[in-house]
Structure 1
């Protein structure tokens, strides 16, 4: 347990008659990135809120940065930071003012708060905009400033709850670079995301949640291998052919009449699949072989609509 920045056992949480978490276990090594994946309502945000001491579990135990979330809430809060889905900034403060104020609230001296603010403004590429009001920042700049504010107190654990929601591709890449830098500095990151590519690029390990339970966990490569090393995409000639073969597929695209089937990628298995599924050579219009992705894992291991 001491080797883990986050450790949880048998966490449960219900709201009314809805069971949001149902015996959740987590173990996240220090200095690593864990991605929590799952459909809407799977329990991702509730997990973050419990570990960040914002919500109490109904049952179960958890330790964050070595401290119990129930018995040592103040110690946990001293060692964590949380960045939610939307930037929490005062639009009437400049970037510099935001970070200096955060530093003072974190207990830094005025001198140390100034130094830390300057360090973070440079690190996140905001030095030139430091004197501008936050309301003039672009969406990507606001997210970077919000993330910088989370790091003022040098947290041991950082919770990122869907941090790139609404960002353009360039801003998303910039935020990914920032997460990699934090990991390199030894910060433990728990990331919830709806972007499967994001988890694939950033996470050391992935935990897939569905209906409040862990349905799979491992490295991105392990999870992709579990579903299939490769995927054979078949475009069918008719709706009838599509519906006949749909139960065999791990990927479904009814609009284009395309199904994806698990395969090891070998020529022998691809030929065998095509002969098995389309012996008369009338059902398949064309096919393509591609590597499996976390999208395939997500659809295969959760109850997400296909």
Structure 2
């Protein structure tokens, strides 16, 4: 019916343009246009009744009623224009406007579909990024646990090695001290014996000298013999004394070497203690830095919750839920502290 209506309107326009216009044909076309418009009205009324009888929602019924009213107004305006001026520009204008509205609607629908596709793509990318970050976080957590285990093992190993080295050094120092004490006591005994021998020799010499003085006359013949014997004995004792002095010098040099070695060991022990103290200070510093980082994170979370930043942003219509989330966030922050 719409196609017939447009065809009749086109014929009427052609007849009006031909000079002179044929009045009879123009009247026939007006009657045909009027009949076609009446049929369109009847079809519109039937469609409206069918729509009213169908179980549609109120929004759809309102839309259908508005479309029907629009079609009736357009047809009425077109009939008035046909009766007055014999043209149908109002119909063409209304069709052009509706086509433009429909094109805009299709463009809006296309943009909406494109936007939905972009949103779905972004959501998929977000899910992929979340999954990737989750896997990366899990891997880093496992690496931290592994490094902590290795750190504990190294601490235990270092402690055991330090104790072993300390005990070994103390044992060596004690053994060296015992050896030095024993050698020193032996040297003192030997020196005492030498002194006793020297005293004894001096006493014998004095007694012999006294004896010789008392028996000078009797022993004048043996004086020379005893003098020679005295010289020989003196040389032997002197040689023995020299050998004792040499051994004493060697023992003193050995004692000095042992003393230097003891000082070196003592230096090593002191450096080891300093390194241990530095390590303990470093551990304390790391603990303090970790505690500071935790406090800063807790403060930042509290600031985000108070100012509604990040995941704690308030949404309209969900005040109850937001206050519940804030309470949970505050409780979680307190538990972390």
Q: TM-score range by the shorter chain?
A: under 0.3
Query: TM-score normalized by structure 2?
Result: 0.17
Query: TM-score normalized by structure 1?
Result: 0.18
For the pair shown, which has the larger CA radius of gyration, 1 or 2?
Answer: 2
Question: Going by fraction, where is helix more abundant, 1 or 2?
Answer: 2
Question: Going by fraction, where is strand more abundant, 1 or 2?
Answer: 1
Higher relative contact order (CA 8 A, sep 6+): 1
